Structure 1
Amino acid sequence: MEYSFDQLDQKVKEIELEASAVLASEDMKLLQVAIVDQEDIYSYVMKVKTMQQIFQEKQKTNSGMAEFALYWPKTQKMVSSSSIYGSTGIKEKKVLNNLKDGKWIISENEIYFCKKYETKWAEDDDEPYLIIRMERDWLYRIKNMASGFDGGGTLCLYDDKQSLFPVNSESAQIQGKMKELDNEPGMHELSIENGRYQVVTSDIAKNGLTLVTHYPLSKMLLPVNNITYITGAVLSVALLLGALYLLMYNRNILMQLNMLTYKLKRVEDGDWTTQITQLPDNEFYYVFDQFNHMIIHMNELFNETLKEQELRMQAELEQLQLQINPHFLYNSLSYIVTVAEEPDAVRGMAVHLSRYYRYCTKKKMITTIKEEVSYARSYLEIMAMRKRIRYNIDMPQDIGELPIIPLILEPLIENAIEHGLEGCESAKQIEIVIRWTSDQDVSFSISDDGEGMTKEQIAVLRERISRKERKEEESVGLWNVNQRLINYYSKSAELGFKRSRWGGLTVYFTIRPERKAEIAEGKIENNAGINCR
């Protein structure tokens, strides 16, 4: 019932929209001008034929629309999809005497929609009406579609409960009883000679039609009784299957749940190598397989965490060793003694030394790029006072507050000075460049103008710092920085090497600083020891 009424209501809207589209078309305007201006007969006939072709095409492509017609009341001219001159179809109908703009009209068991074409250039023009007649066969199909039960019937009523289509005796009795009911849509029960019936009425559609379905209650209860019998049989079978399922559950599912529980307790007790070796051929295969993968992944994460802790501890030990070994500090103090008569030089060295050692003694796991660069600048200033070194740091201001793990730049700068500048008498340039990349990553490069390295030497160095284990006789600086970058960020953050623009060596790496928000919210610990060298 609801679907049929929706279809009827939708078709009413389609017809009203179609009427508006026709009257708003340019062809309609040209035809009206031809009639009003009394153009020559040839031009008039051609415009009439064009309009008739439009009507015929719309009639073919729109189900539920049986006829289109234009009617001029004063001259009684008509252009119809059936005939140009209206010898058949709507021309012979009484509906022409009751035309109203934008109204639905039911006349002689036919349903029409009328819409007036209004001209604005003259008030006394013969303004035509567009008339669209609904197709009775389509309405009959909609009526029959509303019936949902065998043995029931449908009515299509209008005005004072009159039927749009012929009815049988049973439907005629229902139709007569309908006059006693109110016009509210819904369900009702009626009694006629054949027994009691349930009647369902729809709303009144915009075109004035009401759909009514009626079913004998005796036939309606028959499916209910059948459902009762079927439900009883299904419940009996379900109880039997339930008993069998409980037996299978106790022997199979419960046993495998006990296995999973036992293995989880093993993990809880510290056994990180336990595995479920016997995988069943059922739903638990996926659960057990995922358990095994989870244990393997946990072991990998545990080992990586241990590795990071070892690297951090190693870096902290090296920093303590640097603090205990007074070589760096003695050289700096010797410089102060040398320039004792120059207060500005003494003050500058003291300031940079204090900044250098203050940064080393901080207890932070994460710092900012600005602080890391400030620390590197202090180191470069100290080295520039002691040696013939010139340096340049190029960094946009908006990068400074991004997070980074500490003590990354200083070991690379120290390596450039020790192996780049000190190995070449004319070398004296250090350049640090920090930039945004097109992928919103941050790239770092440290360049010198020393002798540089050959491709073979770079390949050997890359292989050495990429190993998970370092030999004792090998330098720890580059290896430590490379391993920390890979462990904290990813493999993509490892160190790279290339020739600098002066012919020396450029060490570079790229990171994605994506943990700043988590650090600010306290989701990442910020109290671990800093890895000073």
Structure 2
Amino acid sequence: MLRKMYMKRFIYFFVFFLLLTLSLFFVMNRLSSKTLEDNLIGASKNQLDYVKGILDGIMYEANMYGVQFAADSDVRFYQSQVIELSNYDSQMKKNEIVDRLRQILLSSRSIESIGIYWKSEESFLSTNNTLEARLPFKGVQERGWRIVEGSLYYFAVYPYIQKNRQVEPAQYVVGVKLKTDYLKSLLKKAVNNDSSNAFFLFNQQQLWSEKEVDNDLLKAITSMLTPQPESTVKYDYHTKSDDYYVLSRYIEPIDAYLITYTRTNDFLQPLDRNRKVFLVSILAVLTLGLFVIFTFYRNYYRNIRLLEKKFSQVEQGNHNTRITENTDKEFYSLFRSFNHMVAEIQELFVSLKTETDLRRSAELKQLQAQINPHFLYNSLFYIMSVAQFSPDAVMRMSKHLAEYYRYLTKLDRHEVTLESELQFAEHFLVIMTLSKKIEYKIDLPAELASLPLTPLIIQPVVENAIQHGIEGRQGAHQVTIDVKRTQTAIMIRISDDGKGLSLEDIHRLETQMESDTPPEGIRGVGLWNVNRRLRNTYGELSGLQFSTNDWGGLSVLMLIDISAEKGENVCDY
């Protein structure tokens, strides 16, 4: 009865865990959708404000030139001077004013033409001196912005300042025409992707856009618009198949709206699709899990009792026992492993070479298992932190992290080359440089690249240089690996500009290296292990040596003895 209760608890926990996972995923999906939408809207508002700033500058420029020429003395007295001057001087005066107008066009990207029209004389000076160019000026009586035949004008009149608030008839009109194509090109700066579009809406009637705008969408947007000059207004628009968010910015001087709209389906549909796939997967896992639990619960006791009986026989020394009964598929692998284990016990004594290989293999697996899991966690968190704004950094980190762990997981030889070990250490250094300000240099002579070396012997020392050297000193950031060969040894020197060690600390560290047992705690175990492996593999003359370098940091010399017969074996491998 007690065992059944434990199994029920396990089933309850399994179902609770799946329901909790579903709930968390639902909440995370909603939060992700909301965060993504808020980020899109924030980016669109910033772009809209940016374009509004450019428009303000263009309107200020047109306003300034209109007022400048409306108040210009040469323009004001032009008609009276023309009457008094000869034809030649009159033409020169006209050319002088026109040249001044054209000089403005040379320095402005947004102004298409500037014209001056005298109403009583019906004379006209302009950078575009065509019959059609003067038509928009004839009906102008007061200054301000107008849309004329699809073009945007700013008109300034003289007298510019009215006395006693009385409207005096305009003597002449200065008109500044803006480039329609240039204004439309600004719409590209107001959108952030292909799912967005932007347009100008003048007087809630005239539309300027480089892309086609859906009529139903335009009607809906027009009905929602409210003039709020100092802020960007957001609206939502929904159809049967699409969802949009609309941003509007009212430009009061020209009585126009700068509007952008974005179709959110392209961004949110992948999240919805992933949610549906996940829900279906969880339901399938739940169904399958309940079936497996039921099958396990039904056949559990019989097979466990059989296994206990056979283990008892092995404990009593009966190594010939085997499980030959018909078993369910769930326990087939387990019983086969038991039979294999008992057979292996009968062959307990193997040759010395096999025993040595197993010991070295176990030592290598232990070293692989000692790789600090925080290194992986920190690398993954780094990838998460930069994924949205730096895809190149994500690709570099992922590439070197994959190479780093591929080397670890596929390492099945007792000896590798010096070049591959240094490449493994370089992957580690590159990963560290992406998250820390670290510079490194590796100097490997080409003739030593293929030198056989016991694996996982350099990276622990490099990791120690960063963790206990560089990270312990403010501003430290340099690591070098220098490889040299003498007649009797291969020397691999790992140096850092970290906090270094005093002579007393170096002496204490060297004492720890000579000990037959690793130091207590975690600190120093990695170096002790490397030193012990060097001596076991390459002889007592090999090992680690420590010294203070010119930077004030610590240099670790990895000495590999290749003298006499030992050296020949290493080099000729």
Higher Rg: 1
TM-score by length of 1: 0.42
Q: Identify the structure with the greater helix proportion.
A: 2
Higher relative contact order, chain-length normalized (CA < 8 Å, sep 6+): 1
